[in-house]
Amino acid sequence: MRILQGILSESKEYYQDLKKKIAKKLLVLPRGSIKERVIAGKKYYYLQYRKAEKIVQKYLGRQKPEVLTKQIKERGILKEELKKVNEALKIIIRSEGRKHV
């Protein structure tokens, strides 16, 4: 029984560390999405995101921002990973709370 509790404890620590690392990375990466507008036949790019109740659009230029696009995709992947980590933590916490006979 102690072996199982040890494994659960180690797993919990692992997922908590992973959650902190992901949260730290998410703080650095940009929020929102890249929007393309065609005005007078020319393409313009904007970063669109929410700030409180408002939707904000920040002008990025006429060139498609490849680096920013990659960062936004990475943010999406990390958010999905964070959901999985949170689900795993819920399962571990639930199983720790059970009394074993």
Map out the domains of the chain as residue ranges.
Answer: 2-97
Question: What is the model's pTM?
Answer: 0.77
Q: What is the pLDDT of residues 69-78, one digit of tens each?
A: 999 999 999 9
The CA distance from 1 to 23, in Å, is 33
pLDDT value at residue 100 = 52
Q: What is the pLDDT of residues 10-33, one digit of tens each?
A: 899 999 999 999 999 999 999 999
50-77 per-residue burial string, b: 16 or more CB within 10 A, e: under 16? eeeeeeeeeebeeeebeebeeebeebee
